A and B are shown apart, each in its own frame.
Chain A
Amino acid sequence: MPTITLAAAADMRAGTIRRWRKNRGDAVAKGEVLVEVEGETAVVEVESTLAGTLTEILAGEGKTVAVGAAIATVASTDDKPAAIAVAPKGNVIPILMPKAGQTMEEGTLVKWHVAIGANVKKGDVIFEIETDKANMEVEATDSGRLSRIVLPEGRALAVLQPVAYLADNDADVDAFIASQGVAPPPQPSPGVPGEGETVYGTRHAASAVVENGRPKSSPAARKIAAQRGIDLAALSAGSGPGGRIISTDVPLNVPPGKSAPAATAPAGVTRKRMSQMRRAIAKNLLLSKQTIPHFYVRLTIDADPLFAFYQAEKTRYPVSLNDVVVMACAKTIMEFPAFRSRLENEEIVESPSANIGVAVAMDDGLIVPVVMSAERLSLRQIAGETKRIAAAAKSGKIEGMGSGVFTITNMGMFGVEEFGAIINPPEAAILAVGTAREAVVVKDGAMRAGRVMTMTLSADHRLIDGATAAKFLARLKLILESPSQLA
């Protein structure tokens, strides 16, 4: 069914729907005004280019749409919707889960980039999938209206199975699906590098299909089943082609009385799927290290006053040395806007407050809860906050996720002298703090026993230059060496 799009008028690049003059189901004549759209300096009336029935309004009142975007669908009187209901005549094109590479068995749909009703053009990225090897964006290889999505986000499907259908009319899709058991398979085309045989309409067998003496199953399904202690042979036929068991067919728990023998593995080698947390760490830090031009600035401070101050404060309330560093950083960040900035496209977005992430080690990874607006808190409040958010994080609730501007990671408690950290995107910098260690301190030509502490700043060179980083550290040093002002 054709859609009406917002046409360009004067210098309008986007318009906000002001009022629909026609409602869904109204008959429209060619040249009749469908809708009033508001631009910056004018109101634009959009006429129908077709005669027929307004079947769907795609942009409601108050919504802003770009020129060229679909705003309504009109069933032209040239269409014959009555006939469609009986025998599908319209073209229906299934979009298939692509088979990207010889070993790919199935893919998980990560994200749909288009919504139902949208017009898809050949070459548009329409969805994103995840395989056991990679994430990839899938382009349409045909154009048309996305009529139905059958695979929602987060679900897996075997390769070359339909995930959605392109069709002008929704009824066509129903008829197509209903008829697919008997109809000859359509040309496997969109979204798919056509590889291998496509099987449509296979009915699931009652029990698992056996092939070469074992249940027909994907490697991913076998792996998951082994992890969950499930015997594939005990399952019914899968939803993959030819009844193949795919990962989503494997139940979460062992069905009663169907436990598998203990999984066998080569001696000494264990294999397990990455946890959600490890995958998040991997993804985030890989992105950081690959896309952020890191540079590192290191500075050692005289930690005697800091240590004495911390010891004194600790007699009054529970506080850590790191809390003092958090507070000093908050003060310093407020003086250096670059340290509370992030990049968004080509814009530098500056946060008004010093929301500081504090890295917390976990059994299998780490998390970074955030002390919000640390610049407004007293040391006692910061000490309370870091304790509270670390405890909350360990029980699964990470506070301030995504609102941090700067992270502090401290390995002082392990005796680490100094280390460099990877920036936690989209932040501009991270400070790695070593232990406040005993050392010979040389001052004014004389040696004495004292304490020093080394801090390494990793900064994003797109936002921060060397001199700025140096000034930042110098300022931080100044504050940490006279910490009484933090009391």
Chain B
Amino acid sequence: MVVIGGGPGGYVAALKAGQMGANVAIVEKEFLGGTCLNYGCIPSKALLASAELVHRVRHAADLGIEVAGQVSANWTQIQARKDKIVQTLRGGIKGLLGARKVTIYSGRATLAGPGNVVVDSNGKSESLTASKIILAVGSVPSRIGGWPTDPNVVCTSDEALHWKTLPKKLLIVGGGAIGCEFACMLQPLGVEVTIVEMLPRLLPNMDAQVGELLAKIFAGRGIKSFVGAKIENLSVNGPAARATLSDGTALEADRVLVATGRRPNTAEIGLSSVNLIVDRGFVRVNDRMETPVKDYYCIGDANGRCQLAHAASAQGVVAVENALGHGIAEDSAVPNCVYTFPEIASVGMTADEARAKGRPISIGFFPLSHLGKAMAVADNEGFVKVIRDRENGRFLGAHMIGHNVTECIASATALLHQKASMADVAQTIFAHPTISESLKEAAEDSLSIALHLPPRKMLRVAGGVA
């Protein structure tokens, strides 16, 4: 088996294949760990941790701590710490692959006809043959056609994670997870941040109330958000960028971060040599990760099913199991987290999605302002919201914003994976005091049996007569 791409999809697939006894090679053109470890999840979380500490220290007085003198962030040191974490983890992956006897090729892989992969590295070219090939080629940040390309001014997350200096005024294009995380990270470090989102709210793919609360919290910190707004024109003049919105508003910045999504990295990997075609750049697969061409599988960002690292890893396992003859399909709830502070996490259906499916739902809601643990840690903005099917009682989804909720979503995901009823969620004992116990409270609210909330809104109406 040859796995093309060493990100969280590819390296996990290679480990799985090794575990199952296959003769497996992995080809990586840059760094093991892919986008997740080198340009995404891990470095951004390292930077966010520094930023959050600055933010907390500035509010230390809330917890009775007096900080003498000025708190200042050293961007160079912050970057160096992040780089060290990334280095350590790359070494870890290499060690794991070695332990599973996976052959690692450093170079660019190209498909060269059925069963053949050519690896080019430093001008040398080597040909590999395989009976099964897994494409885990990932994605790259999308750019906007027609916009200025000066990499010192108009950047994507790839460059922003490695900035040597911070901008004074940053314009972030796109209010999704990446845009919001960068806004949240850079504001405490002294950057004046403005977000422009085309859709009517921040985090448009998540529960509506989550994005609305985040925009309010951001506004309180001085992060400006323009939602439902389109940039008509962007010009760069020396180190200054100037954007004009469709309503005529002019925004100025010394750097622009384009965070409008990621596109599949499938253009130059020789798909046509094996008759594989792409659909908007994605190599489409079924729920067994099989492409239309026998013995070729595609996992992760490049297949367009779900652009999340943990989804790619899960798909990697599915692809390998199928390639090695065990028929399994992808059928698990995938949690989705945004690492702003407060954190955001969700799993399953939103209220809008359930309504669109025609399900009668009941919404359970628990505000963290009522929660002992949240008050104790002086971080009690946020809520947990759950969606229950009123007719069959099923737990359909959970949506959270607040302190540490990216950890709390695990229990909701486990329950959803087990296809629990909302009564099962409400009957689970959660430790007290924790943030996660708000999931139980919200579940109880959706069943109108919450004890730590005033009785659920009870309306009384006279029946109609016909």
B232 interface residue (CB < 8 Å to A): no
* A55 touches B (CB below 8 Å): no
A5 contacts B466, C-beta separation under 8 Å:
yes
List CB contacts (< 8 Å) of B1-21 with chain A. none
B325 smallest CB distance to A (angstroms): 13
Query: For the complex, what is the distance from the CA of A31 to the CA of B279, rounded to whole Å?
Result: 61
A475 contact set on B, CB distance < 8 A: 277
Instruction: Please tell me which stretch of A44-52, A278-286, A291-299, A459-467 contacts chain B, meaning at least 4 of its Cβ atoms lie within 8 angstroms of it.
Output: A44-52
Residues on the B chain within 8 Å of A34, using CB: 463
Give the interface residue-count category, chain B: 20 to 34
Residue contact A7 to B466, C-beta cutoff 8 Å: no
Closest to B447 in A: A38
Known: A6-B463, A38-B390, A64-B390. A43 touches B284 (CB 8 A): no
Query: Distance (Å) between the CB of A470 and the closest chain B CB?
Result: 13
Q: Mark A21-55, 1 if CB is under 8 A from B, else 0.
A: 00000000001011000111111111111100000
Given A62-B391, A332-B292, A47-B465 contact (CB < 8 Å) = no
Nearest chain B CB to A228's CB is how many angstroms away? 47
Interface residues of B in 307-348 (CB under 8 A from A): none
Residues in A neighbouring B124, C-beta threshold 8 A: none
Could you give, for residues 268-294 of chain B, a 1 whenever the CB lies within 8 Å of some chain A CB and a 0 otherwise?
000000010101000010111010111
- B262 vs chain A, min Cβ distance (A): 21
Query: Would you call B351 an interface residue if the criterion is a C-beta within 8 Å of the partner chain's C-beta atoms?
Result: yes
> Which residues of the other chain, B, contact A366 by a CB distance below 8 angstroms?
none
Cβ < 8 Å to B, chain A residues 108-125: 119
Given contacts A41-B363, A62-B391, whether A46 and B461 have CB atoms under 8 Å apart is: yes
Contact A486 B294 (CB under 8 A): yes
Question: What separation, in Å, do the CA atoms of A243 and B286 have in the docked complex?
Answer: 65
Find chain A residues with CB under 8 A from B279 CB: 335-336
Please indicate the chain A residues that have their CB under 8 angstroms from the CB of B360 in the complex: 14, 16, 64
Residues of B within 8 A of A9 (CB): 459, 461
Q: How far is the CB of B421 from chain A (nearest CB, A)?
A: 13
B461 touches A7 (CB 8 A): yes
The answer on a CB contact under 8 Å between B460 and A33 is yes
Query: Nearest CB to that of A47 among chain B residues?
Result: B462
Q: How far is the CB of B29 from chain A (nearest CB, A)?
A: 26
Whether A43 and B351, one on each chain, are in contact in the complex, defined by CB atoms closer than 8 angstroms, is no
Within 408-458 of A, Cβ neighbours of B (below 8 Å) are at: none
Min Cβ gap B364→A in Å is 9
A43 touching B459 by the CB < 8 A rule?
yes
A164 to B365 alpha-carbon distance, docked (Å): 49
B432 contacts across to A, CB distance below 8 A: none
Which of B290, B293, B463 counts the most chain A CB atoms within 10 A?
A: B463
A475 to B293, CA, bound (A): 12
- Known A-B contacts A7-B461, A38-B448; the reply to A2 vs B466 at CB < 8 A is yes
Candidates B114, B351, B456, B465; contact of A49 at CB < 8 Å = B465
Cβ–Cβ < 8 Å partners of B25 in chain A:
none
Q: Shortest Cβ distance from A32 into chain B, in angstroms? A: 11
The complex places the Cα of A450 from the Cα of B378 at a distance, in Å, of: 80
| Chain A nearest CB, measured from B111 CB (Å) | 13
Residue interface bits B351-372, CB-to-A below 8 A is 1, else 0:
1000000001111010000000
Shortest distance in angstroms between A338's beta carbon and chain B's nearest beta carbon?
Answer: 10
Query: Would B362 and A4 count as touching, CB distance under 8 A?
Result: no
Please give the number of chain A residues whose Cβ is less than 8 angstroms from any Cβ of chain B in the complex.
52
B290 contacts which chain A residues (CB < 8 A)?
A: 375
Partner of A352, one of B275, B287, B292, B390: B287
| Residue B464 lies at the interface, judged by CB distance under 8 Å to chain A | yes
Measured CA separation A38–B286 after assembly (Å): 39
Q: A9-B459, A42-B456, A70-B466 are in contact. Are A482 and B287 (CB under 8 A)?
A: no
- Distance in Å from the Cβ of A126 to the closest Cβ of chain B? 16
Chain A, range 364-408, C-beta contacts under 8 Å to B:
375-376
* Residue from A18, A68, A485 within 8 A of B294 (CB atoms): A485
Please name all residues of chain A whose beta carbon is closer than 8 Å to the beta carbon of B448 when the two chains form the complex: 18, 38, 43
Residue among A6, A39, A479 making CB contact with B464, cutoff 8 Å: A6
* A487-B295 Cα distance, complex, nearest whole Å: 11
B459 contacts A10, CB within 8 Å?
yes
Bound: A318/B279 CA distance, A: 35
- Whether a CB of chain B sits under 8 angstroms from the CB of A205 is no
Q: Is A355 an interface residue (CB 8 A)?
A: no
Interface check B429, CB cutoff 8 A: no
Indicate if the CB atoms of B275 and A4 lie closer than 8 Å: no
Closest to A373 in B: B286
B68 at the interface (CB under 8 A from A): no
B292 CB, min distance to chain A CBs, angstroms: 4
User: In the complex the two chains form, is A47's CB within 8 Å of B463's CB?
Assistant: yes
- Residues of B contacting A335 in the complex (Cβ-Cβ under 8 angstroms): 277, 279, 284, 292
Check if B457 is an interface residue, CB within 8 A of chain A: yes
Q: Mark A156-196, 1 if CB is under 8 A from B, else 0.
A: 00000000000000000000000000000000000000000
B463 touches A331 (CB 8 A): no
A478 at the interface (CB under 8 A from B): yes
Determine the chain B residues whose CB is within 8 A of the CB of A5 once the complex forms: 463-466
A43–B457 Cα distance when bound, in Å, is 6
CB-based nearest A residue for B278: A335
- Residues of chain A lying within 8 A (CB to CB) of residue B365: 41
**Taking the complex as formed, is B431 at the interface, i.e. its CB lies under 8 A from any CB of chain A?**
no
Residues of A within 8 A of B464 (CB): 4-7, 49, 68
Whether B267 sits at the interface, judged by CB under 8 Å, is no
Does the CB pair A42–B460 fall under 8 Å?
no
| A341 at the binding interface (Cβ < 8 Å) | no
Closest-CB distance, A36 to chain B (whole angstroms):
8
Residue A321 interfacial (CB < 8 Å): no
CB pair B293–A485 under 8 Å, yes or no, is yes
Per-residue contact bits, chain A 235-279, to B (CB 8 Å; 1 contact, 0 not)? 000000000000000000000000000000000000000000000
Asked if B459 contacts A334 (CB within 8 A), the reply is no
CA distance A41 to B448 in the complex (A): 9
B458 lies within 8 A of chain A by Cβ: yes
Q: Is A217 an interface residue (CB 8 A)?
A: no
Distance between Cα atoms of A33 and B293 in the complex (Å): 64
Determine whether A361 belongs to the interface, using a CB cutoff of 8 Å to chain B. no
Report how far A62 CA is from B392 CA in the complex, Å.
8
Q: Is A3 an interface residue, CB under 8 A from the partner?
A: yes
B460: which of A8, A45, A64, A72 is its contact (CB, 8 Å)? A45
Contacts of B362 in A (CB 8 A): 16, 38-41
A-contacting residues of B (Cβ < 8 Å)?
114, 275, 277, 279, 284, 286-288, 290, 292-294, 351, 360-363, 365, 390-391, 448, 456-466
- 18 intermolecular pairs with C-beta atoms under 8 Å apart: A2-B466, A5-B463, A16-B390, A38-B448, A40-B362, A41-B457, A42-B456, A43-B448, A44-B461, A45-B461, A46-B463, A47-B461, A62-B391, A331-B292, A336-B279, A353-B286, A478-B277, A479-B275
Q: Which residues of A contact B (CB under 8 A)?
A: 2-10, 14, 16, 18, 31, 33-34, 38-50, 62-64, 68, 70-72, 119, 331-332, 334-336, 352-353, 375-376, 475, 478-479, 482, 485-487
**Top 7 closest pairs, chain A to chain B, by CB:** A5-B464, A4-B463, A42-B457, A16-B390, A331-B292, A64-B360, A9-B459
